[in-house]
Structure 1
């Protein structure tokens, strides 16, 4: 059977709900998105000079940003098959832009709520729909939200690379294990789990807790 990229997200959402007692991946991503945006609001000055929070004084725009971060997490989990803690911070910065601008063989883009880009279910579905309405009603605001998502994850990536919270001898042990288990992955890969203590999130669902041996402040749990 030929690979169908437009079946990736629907198939993932169905499988996720089946494995998590009916909970939707977007709903489970929402607390993480809130934590990411809250962390950025607390950074004064911003972690990176040109990576500030664009909508700090606009509650509705803040809701759009949280919704966009949650959707980035959902898309990344669906496309990679990773648990939320294992998601690559570098990739997360551009996930929503890439997904919304991707074109099929017929040149058509995915439509939010359509077959290949299903709407989430659960308590935050209305926030998702409000965000997606921006695509047609306010393209400039939609572009600003996507830029803010990029800035959010770029700042977290910088934070992960510079924060001194690693146990002694961490890098050599974990890098050796990671490269043996997943030789195709980049050596400088930084995951969402690595900034979880700064976000106040615990425990962190990951595929393999040994991926984080040596992180004294990260509490991980094997994902179902």
Structure 2
């Protein structure tokens, strides 16, 4: 059967709801997005207008940023098949802007809410629609959101590279597993799970808990 890019996200959303008691993946991404934005505010407050929103003074702007981070997580889960904890921090900073401003990387352009890019359901769907309305109506504000997404995930990536939650002396075991013994995939990268304790998030949904041995995480294994 030929690959259909317009079926990827809808199929993922259906399968996710079926496996998670009817919850939409965007609903499950929302607490993570809140945590990411909160961490970003605490670590690197964007105090200049051209660096991002004045988040502390503008609750609506903050809502747009949380909505955008949640959508970045949902899209990345859908297209990689990864659990939320396994998402690559290096990719997340540009995930949504790639979809909005260009295409999916396969030469296909999607319309938010249209075929191939379904609107989420659940308690935060209105925030998603408000974000998409902002993108259409206020390119300047969307540019600030986009910069803030990038800065938030770039900050987390830098934090993860210092391995703040990995036990001292454990990396040789971690690396051996990731590069040689992990079933189904090989490699090493910085994931959202590795900074979950800094975000205050637990348990962490991951595909393979052994990938994080030595990190002191409370994980919940997701089906492949």
With normalisation by structure 2, the TM-score equals: 0.90
**Separation of aligned partners in 2, 1:183 and 1:149:** 30
Q: Is the 8 A contact 1:92 1:153 kept in 2?
A: yes
Correspondence for 2:92: 92
**Separation of aligned partners in 2, 1:185 and 1:148:** 31
The verdict on how the C-alpha distance between 1:179 and 1:206 changes in structure 2, with shifts beyond 3 A counting, is same
**Separation of aligned partners in 2, 1:53 and 1:36:** 15
Measure how far apart 1:156 and its partner are.
Answer: 0.2
Are 1:54 and 2:44 an aligned pair?
Answer: no
Q: Is the 8 A contact 1:85 1:205 kept in 2?
A: yes
Alignment deviations for residues 166-189 of structure 1 (CA, whole Å, 9 cap, x no partner): 2132211111111122686543x0
Q: How many pairs align?
A: 218
Mapping for residues 52-131 of structure 1, pairs under 5 Å: 54-56=53-55, 57-103=57-103, 109-131=109-131
**Separation of aligned partners in 2, 1:44 and 1:98:** 24
Correspondence for 2:192: 192
Q: Is the 8 A contact 2:37 2:65 kept in 1?
A: yes
Q: Is the 8 A contact 2:206 2:219 kept in 1?
A: yes
Measure how far apart 1:101 and its partner are.
Answer: 2.9
Correspondence for 1:167: 167
Q: Is the 8 A contact 1:102 1:110 kept in 2?
A: no
The verdict on how the C-alpha distance between 1:147 and 1:222 changes in structure 2, with shifts beyond 3 A counting, is same
Correspondence for 1:33: 33
Alignment deviations for residues 135-158 of structure 1 (CA, whole Å, 9 cap, x no partner): 221112112211111111000000
Correspondence for 2:153: 153
Are 1:219 and 2:215 an aligned pair?
Answer: no
With normalisation by structure 1, the TM-score equals: 0.90
CA RMSD, aligned part only?
Answer: 2.3
Alignment deviations for residues 106-164 of structure 1 (CA, whole Å, 9 cap, x no partner): x7731110011100000000000000012221112112211111111000000111253
Q: Is the 8 A contact 1:53 1:152 kept in 2?
A: no
**Separation of aligned partners in 2, 1:222 and 1:31:** 18
Q: Is the 8 A contact 2:90 2:157 kept in 1?
A: yes
The verdict on how the C-alpha distance between 1:16 and 1:54 changes in structure 2, with shifts beyond 3 A counting, is same
